């Protein structure tokens, strides 16, 4: 029998009387039929308050690279909690975590710790402007860099206002944003190196930095086309711009050296979040000595009461040690498991006549469903995705999968954790078979 969610419904009703809109992050309202309330997790499994069990590929929006509640992590946090959770001062732990990052990521010559990747992005922008004396940041359509005013310009431009292909609009999805913020950005399309060259040329000498998700996980899991990352590096070197790699999702998921090690490039600054803290509020800015110089000199301010708090540091040290200990087995193992899951889902889709085309490198991937009549072939950028992906049909299928105990990120992203094994992929596919059958029997296009 498909799952039901009576207790989550009840809690959601109650929450709306004390929490604005009933959730603490807007995106959580997307979960249908109701934002779920969770009771506990273990490895790749999570249970909601109705007792429903899920094979989890949502993984705390990707932060739980190590699975739910790994025993060593709980011990590391508990041991530190007994010694103290907050000093707003220095500790040997912070040096230990910084040194681990230096060993794992060649471009991480210096680091600074924060509580969320959103904050780190803002620090990186301030630093890039301080470093270059320039105002503009070049970013790409569909890339997400946190929820602040500066992180969301051009992220999810609606099709009727997104401008022509050469001039993507600088729109912000939120009200209340300082209008001048929009003028501080150049928005370019992803995966078109020649277009990028033209955008840089148009604003030559005014751009402080280029920021990007190395794999566009927040829109369809789009890997960079060959030559794109090298073009960004070349343009940054040529014009004195900083190359900012936002590895909030890819960091440590793509191996100890992150996506920059996996794809072979060296950014000036790196944003690290999610997996660096394993689910604690921990994030870091990493950079070369030259790029970090204005922070080192105290000319660019970076501060925060909770920065580098010992509880998060103890968790992070444990997480980084897990990744380092795996050596070359990571990301190979999760990549193999992810590809098995992608293949299995593709097979089910074929069997039930659903035009699903999972896309991505495997350790993380996106389940695209082509709209009726849409062209075949990999999705290339944000516009292509909006035009060809059938979001309504995916929403219906996602709910059917959820009701069978398979949970992906609401918009269609799947992540594999270090706790997943082949038996979990087998079970997820067995359950998905039931989800696909019900989807095929009940889906009705609008």
Pick between residue 43 and residue 251 the one whose CB is nearest to ligand PLP: 251
Q: Pick the closest to residue 213 from 161, 165, 267, 175 (CA basis).
A: 267
- The answer to whether 216 touches 250, Cβ cutoff 8 Å, is no
Tell me how far, at minimum, the Cβ of 421 lies from ligand PLP, in Å. Answer: 26
CB-wise, 118 or 415, nearer to ligand PLP?
Answer: 118
Return the number of the residue (249 or 323) whose C-beta is nearest ligand PLP.
Answer: 249
Q: How far is CA 362 from CA 7, 215, 335, 413, 432, in A?
A: 34, 12, 5, 11, 17
Comparing CB distances to ligand PLP, the nearer of 232 and 370 is 232
Q: CB-wise, 344 or 412, nearer to ligand PLP?
A: 412
Catalytic residue among 48, 262, 263, 274: 274
CB of 411 to ligand PLP, least distance (A): 11
Smallest separation (angstroms) from ligand PLP to the CB of 146: 4
Distances (CA, A) of 19 to 14, 24, 43, 126: 9, 7, 30, 32
Contacts of 41 (CB under 8 A, 6+ apart): 47, 56, 64, 67, 68, 69
- 288 CB contacts (<8 Å, ≥6 apart)? 107, 109, 110, 268, 269
Only one residue has tokens 């922070």, namely 295
* Set 54, 144, 263, 385: catalytic member: 144
- Spatial distance between the Cα atoms of 241 and 211, rounded to a whole number of angstroms: 10
Assign 3-state DSSP to the chain and report helix, strand, coil percentages, each to 5: 45, 15, 40
In this structure, what are the phi and psi dihedrals at residue 400, rounded to the nearest 5 degrees?
A: -60, -40
Find the angle CA(44)-CA(247)-CA(163) to the nearest 5 degrees. Answer: 110
Which residues form the interface with ligand PLP (CB under 6 A)?
A: 61, 116-118, 121, 144-146, 213, 218, 246, 248-249, 273
Rounded to a whole number of angstroms, the minimum distance from the CB of residue 276 to ligand PLP is 10
Closer of 250 and 432 to ligand PLP (Cβ): 250
Q: Is 263 a catalytic residue?
A: no
Per-position DSSP letters for 7-57, written without gaps between them: HHHHHHHHHTTTSGGG-SSGGGGGSSSS---EEEEEBTEEEETT--EEEES
CA-nearest of 150, 205, 212, 223 to 181 is 150
Q: Which residues, other chains included, contact 120 with Cβ-Cβ below 8 Å and sequence gap of 6+?
A: 114, 271, 272, 273, 283, 284, 285
Catalytic status, residue 54: no
Nearest-angstrom CA–CA distance, 148 and 124: 13
Nearest approach, Cβ of residue 263 and ligand PLP (Å): 15
Helices and strands counted in the chain (H then E): 13, 14
DSSP 140: E
Contacts of 245 (CB under 8 A, 6+ apart): 212, 214, 258, 259, 260, 265, 267, 269, 270, 271
Nearer to ligand PLP, 242 or 400 (CB): 242
**Of residues 48, 56, 192, 246, which has the active-site annotation?**
246
Neighbour tally for 281: CB within 10 Å:
16
Instruction: State the nearest-atom distance from the C-beta of 218 to ligand PLP, in Å.
Output: 5
Assess whether 387 carries a catalytic annotation: no
Which residue shows structure tokens 């109705």?
Answer: 50
- From CA 59, how far away is CA 441, in angstroms rounded? 29
131 vs 274, beta carbon nearer ligand PLP: 274
Q: Pick between residue 173 and residue 347 the one whose CB is nearest to ligand PLP.
A: 173
* Shortest Å distance, C-beta 348 to ligand PLP: 28
Minimal distance, residue 331 CB to ligand PLP, in Å: 17
Instruction: Provide the minimum distance between the beta carbon of 298 and ligand PLP in the complex, in angstroms, as a whole number.
Output: 25
Active site residues: 144, 246, 274
């Amino acid at each position: 029998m498909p799952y039901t969610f009576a207790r989550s419904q009840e809690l959601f009703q109650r929450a709306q009387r004390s929490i604005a809109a009933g959730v603490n992050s807007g995106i959580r309202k997307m979960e249908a039929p109701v934002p779920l309330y969770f009771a506990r997790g273990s490895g790749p499994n999570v249970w909601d308050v109705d007792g429903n069990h899920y094979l989890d590929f949502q993984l705390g929006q990707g932060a739980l690279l190590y699975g739910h509640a790994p025993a060593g992590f709980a011990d590391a946090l508990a041991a530190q909690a007994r010694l103290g959770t907050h000093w707003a001062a220095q500790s040997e732990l912070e040096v230990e975590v910084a040194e681990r990052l230096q060993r794992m990521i060649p471009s991480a010559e210096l680091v600074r710790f924060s509580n969320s990747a959103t904050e780190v992005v803002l620090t990186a922008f301030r630093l890039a402007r301080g470093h270059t004396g320039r105002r503009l940041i070049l970013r790409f359509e569909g890339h997400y860099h946190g929820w602040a005013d500066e992180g969301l310009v051009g992220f999810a431009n609606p099709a009727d206002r997104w401008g022509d292909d050469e001039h993507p609009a600088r729109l912000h999805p939120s009200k209340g944003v300082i209008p001048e913020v929009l003028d501080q950005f150049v928005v370019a399309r992803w995966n078109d190196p020649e277009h990028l060259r033209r955008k840089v040329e148009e604003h030559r000498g005014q751009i402080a930095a280029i920021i990007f998700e190395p794999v566009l996980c927040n829109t369809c899991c789009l890997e960079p086309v060959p030559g794109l990352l090298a073009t960004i590096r070349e343009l940054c070197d040529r014009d004195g711009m900083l190359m900012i790699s936002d590895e909030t999702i890819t960091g440590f998921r793509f191996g100890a050296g992150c996506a920059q090690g996996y794809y072979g490039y060296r950014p000036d600054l790196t944003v690290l979040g999610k997996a660096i803290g394993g689910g604690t509020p921990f994030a870091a800015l990493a950079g070369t000595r030259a790029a970090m110089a204005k922070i080192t000199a105290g000319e660019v301010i970076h501060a925060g009461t909770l920065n580098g708090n010992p509880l998060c540091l103890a968790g992070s040290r444990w997480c980084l040690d897990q990744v380092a200990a795996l050596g070359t087995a990571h990301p190979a193992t999760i990549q193999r498991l992810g590809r098995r899951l992608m293949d299995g889902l593709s097979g089910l889709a074929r069997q039930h006549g659903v035009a699903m085309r999972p896309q991505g490198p495997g350790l993380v991937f996106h389940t695209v469903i082509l709209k009726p009549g849409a062209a075949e072939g990999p999705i290339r950028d944000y516009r292509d995705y909006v035009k060809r992906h059938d979001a309504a049909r995916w929403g219906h299928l996602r709910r059917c999968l959820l009701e069978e105990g398979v949970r992906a990120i609401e918009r269609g992203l799947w992540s594999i954790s270090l706790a997943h094994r082949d038996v979990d992929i087998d079970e997820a596919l067995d359950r998905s078979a039931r989800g696909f059958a019900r989807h095929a029997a009940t889906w009705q296009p609008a």
